Chains A and B, each alone.
Chain A
Amino acid sequence: MSGPAIQVERLVFAYPDGRQALFGVDFTVERGERVALLGPNGAGKTTLVLHLNGILGSVAGGTGSGRIQIGGTGLHREHLGEIRRKVGLVFQDPDDQLFMPTVRDDVAFGPANLGLRGAELDDRVHEALVQVGMQDHADLAPHHLSFGQRRRVAVATVLAMRPEVLVLDEPSSNLDPAARRELADILAGLDVTLLMITHDLPYALQLCERSLLMDDGRIVADGKTRDLLGDAELMRAHRLELPYGFNPHSVPGPER
């Protein structure tokens, strides 16, 4: 099937406690694009990405409206399984994502739910662990890993499902500089559509040519990452700040 990787139209959502998080969100991401989703805390970024595979929203029985298509497939109850295979979601806190007793059990969880068994399952697990360089830690329990290692395993748990769209929630948060760079190398080497929530603006510029800026439950800007970061007025209006001394026009980005 064809169509953009992600298409979201007029998305509205309120949490069960009455707090409304999305007030009409529209955007499209084409196949192979790498897009950063920027915005201050509480803008609704995480809520939005939890809609992309039908975890939140009307399809999950929640309170909201709007339309979502993934790779041309509409997000409806009968397509949920297919959508969840296509969209791989990496959560912000790896402890939320790594819930099985060992790394191996955890990476196998997704593919096993897809119906893989035996040698095929083992191969898939190994392949995903190799992609993030964690193949030597397969039998450890998550609480015996460092934070950076847990983040990488969290990425592997999703890669093991061979998603078409990889969605990451603040992948660089709480990582030390080396772990942050290692993760960037891994992400840059993946051949998937990428949507990445981040407060780490240099990271966005390094990995994503395009950025969406979100505030108060709406998309308020959409354009080249370099242009958005260079627009001082826009940045100030939405509580975004570049690191001290960082000039978005003087560093290389992913553009060719």
Chain B
Amino acid sequence: MTGDGLLVAVDSPVHRIPAQVKLVALFVFVLAVVSTPAAVFWAFGVYAGMLVAAVAVAKVPAPVVSRRLAVETPFIVFALLLPFVATGPQVSVLGLELSQSGVLGAWNVLAKGTLGVIAAILLSATTAPRELLAGLERLRLPATLVAILSFMVRYLSVVSDDLHRMRVARESRGYMGGRVGHLKAVAGGVGALFVRSFERGERVHLAMRSRGYTGRMPLLSVQGASRGQWMHGVAISVVAVVVAVAARMVSS
């Protein structure tokens, strides 16, 4: 796992939108999706179309998106169980007794969750971690939190590499791993990893203080986004909001 997140390093109009604009746009978009009544199916079709178009414009390869969708798996399982355990009137599909509200609920979880994940993938695939941090800083996330985030992102690859090296060392000494043994070996290694990480944290703090750090991190972002960039970036979310409002009116 590198500190680059899911970044797909190409140039596209989506990559060029300032991070704070993308963050706001993403948030508004997902909010619109979440507040759309599940039964208004066409609205989700529109959302999906908008996302597919945005992914295409951003030149993010489809396999990147589909691979990352795997994080959703536990909730897909949950959603698929819903029609069997939910209450209310039952319908019979292919000989199975399913709950009507359960089927709708499963659709609700799957559709909204998937759209949310794809939107988030779009953000992380088109925004370098440093830009994201600068964007959060511009959106007035507390400075301490931005600092912690920035250190975490910086050292993610270092700590993951440590972890990986320890696994290689374990396996190259002929370790095969039964169930209980596996847990024990992993846990012992993780303990050592924490001491390493913590001591590195101490050294980094020493290095910072050596260079005059007194409690305030320098700002990452220099210039804000122009009005044009805001209009441009948030356009997709505005469309989503319009769709959500329309869907609510249709369903009520």
A/B touching: CB–CB < 8 A: yes
Residue of A nearest to B154 (CB): A99
Is A113 at the interface (CB under 8 A from chain B)? yes
Q: Say yes or no: A141-B3 contact (C-beta < 8 A), given A50-B206, A81-B212.
A: yes
- Cross-chain contact A97 with B207 (CB below 8 angstroms): yes
A95 within 8 A of B: yes
Task: Return B240 CB to nearest CB of chain A, in Å.
Answer: 31
* B102 part of interface (Cβ distance < 8 Å): no
A148: chain B residues at CB < 8 Å are none
Let me know if A134 is at the binding interface, CB within 8 A.
no
Stretch of A71-79, A103-111, A171-179, A243-251 contacting B (4+ beta carbons < 8 Å): A103-111
A113 touches B214 (CB 8 A): yes
Q: With A101-B130, A105-B218 given, is the CB distance from A143 to B157 under 8 Å?
A: yes
Q: Which of A89, A113, A157 interacts with B213 by CB under 8 Å?
A: A113
Q: When the two chains form their complex, are residues A105 and B213 in contact, meaning their CB atoms are under 8 A apart?
A: no
Q: What distance in Å separates the Cβ of A112 from its nearest Cβ neighbour in chain B?
A: 4
In the assembled complex, how far is the CB of residue A215 from the closest CB belonging to chain B, in whole angstroms? Answer: 23
B212 touches A142 (CB 8 A): no
The contact of A142 among B4, B154, B220, by CB within 8 Å, is B154
User: B40 at the A/B interface (Cβ < 8 Å)?
Assistant: no
Given A100-B154, A143-B3; A93-B203 close (CB under 8 Å) = yes
A200 to chain B, nearest CB (A): 21
Q: Is B209 an interface residue (CB 8 A)?
A: yes
A108-B211 CB under 8 A given contacts A50-B206, A101-B130, A142-B154: no
- Per the CB 8 Å criterion, the residue count for chain A at the interface is 31
With a cutoff of 8 Å between Cβ atoms, the chain A residues found around residue B151 in the complex are 99
- Is A151 among interface residues, defined by CB-CB distance under 8 A? no
For A143, what are the chain B residues with a Cβ–Cβ distance below 8 Å? 2-3, 154, 157-158
Contact A161 B212 (CB under 8 A): yes
Residues A99 and B207 in contact in the complex (CB < 8 Å), given A85-B212, A142-B154, A143-B2: yes
- The distance in angstroms between the C-alpha atoms of A158 and B213, with both chains bound, is 13
Given contacts A100-B154, A101-B150, A143-B157, contact A109 B203 (CB under 8 A): no
In the complex, the 6 A-B pairs of residues with the closest C-beta atoms, listed nearest first: A113-B212, A110-B211, A101-B130, A96-B203, A112-B218, A89-B210
Known: A97-B207, A113-B211. 10 other contacts (CB 8 A): A93-B203, A99-B208, A101-B150, A101-B220, A102-B130, A105-B220, A143-B3, A143-B154, A143-B158, A158-B211
Give 17 A-B contacts (CB < 8 Å), ordered by A residue: A55-B210, A81-B212, A89-B207, A91-B207, A95-B158, A99-B155, A100-B150, A101-B150, A101-B153, A101-B220, A109-B208, A112-B218, A113-B212, A141-B129, A141-B154, A143-B157, A157-B211
